[in-house]
Amino acid sequence: MAVAIIRILNNSLTMKFIIGDVLIIIFILFITRLPQSFSTTEAIQPSLTRLDSKRSSPSVQESAAKAVLGRFLPTHLHSFHFKIVSKDVCGGQGCFLIENYDGPTENGPEILIKGTTAVEIASGLHWYIKYFCGAHVSWDKTGGVQLASVPKPGSLSLVKDSGVLIQRPVPWNYYQNVVTSSYSYVWWDWERWEKEIDWMALQGINLPLAFSGQEAIWQKVFMGFNISMEDLNDFFGGPAFLAWARMGNLHTWGGPLSKNWLKQQLVLQKKILSRMLELGMTPVLPSFSGNVPAALKTIFPTANITRLGDWNTVDSDPRWCCTYLLNPSDPLFVEIGEAFIKMQIKEYGDVTDIYNCDTFNENSPPTNDTTYISSLGAAVYKAMSNGDKDAVWLMQGWLFYSDSTFWKPPQMKALLHSVPVGKMIVLDLFADVKPIWATSSQFYGTPYVWCLLHNFGGNIEMYGTLDAISSGPVDARISKNSTMVGVGMCMEGIEQNPVVYEFMSEMAFRKEKVPVLEWLKTYTHRRYGKSVQQIKEAWAILYHTVYNCTDGIADHNIDFIVKFPDWDPSINFGSRPSKLNSMHTFRSRTRSRRFSFQERSSDLPQAHLWYSTHEVVNALKLFLAAGNDLAGSLTYRYDLVDLTRQV
pLDDT tens by residue, 557-584? 766 666 655 556 566 544 443 333 333 3
Comparing CA positions, the residue from 79, 182, 179, 95 lying closest to residue 132 is: 79
How many residues are given for the chain?
Answer: 647
Comparing CA positions, the residue from 151, 126, 146, 134 lying closest to residue 633 is: 146
580 within domain boundaries: no
| Same-domain status, 294 and 358 | yes
Among residues 139, 167, 195, the one where a domain terminates is: 167
The per-residue pLDDT for 566 is 58
Q: Is the peptide bond before 565 cis (omega within 30 degrees of 0)?
A: yes
| Same-domain status, 559 and 477 | no
| Same-domain status, 413 and 398 | yes
3 within domain boundaries: no
506 within domain boundaries: yes
The per-residue pLDDT for 39 is 52
| Same-domain status, 328 and 448 | yes
| Same-domain status, 330 and 448 | yes
| Same-domain status, 319 and 357 | yes
First vs last C-alpha separation in the chain: 72
38 within domain boundaries: no
| Same-domain status, 180 and 127 | no
234 within domain boundaries: yes
Q: What's the whole-model pTM score?
A: 0.88
| Same-domain status, 260 and 363 | yes
| Same-domain status, 155 and 228 | no
Give the residues of the chain that fall short of pLDDT 70: 1-40, 105, 558-605
The per-residue pLDDT for 454 is 95
Q: In Å, what is the CA distance from 244 to each residue of 182, 238, 239, 372, 452? A: 8, 10, 10, 26, 21
| Same-domain status, 187 and 282 | yes
The per-residue pLDDT for 37 is 38
Among residues 167, 196, 230, the one where a domain terminates is: 167
Structural domain including 84 reads 58-167
Among residues 476, 494, 514, the one where a domain terminates is: 514
Report the run of H or E that residue 469 belongs to, with start and end: helix 466-478
User: Looking at residue 100, which CATH number applies to its domain?
Assistant: 3.30.379.10
| Same-domain status, 529 and 409 | no
Query: Across all residues in the chain, what is the average pLDDT?
Result: 88
| Same-domain status, 139 and 209 | no
**Residue 551 exposed, middle or buried by CB count within 10 Å (0-12, 13-18, 19+):** exposed
User: Looking at residue 238, which CATH number applies to its domain?
Assistant: 3.20.20.80
Tens of pLDDT, residues 211-261: 999 999 999 999 999 999 999 999 999 999 999 999 999 999 999 999 999
82 within domain boundaries: yes
The per-residue pLDDT for 564 is 56
Strand ranges inside 68-140, DSSP E: 80-84, 95-100, 111-115
Number of domains comprising the chain: 3
The per-residue pLDDT for 593 is 33
25 within domain boundaries: no
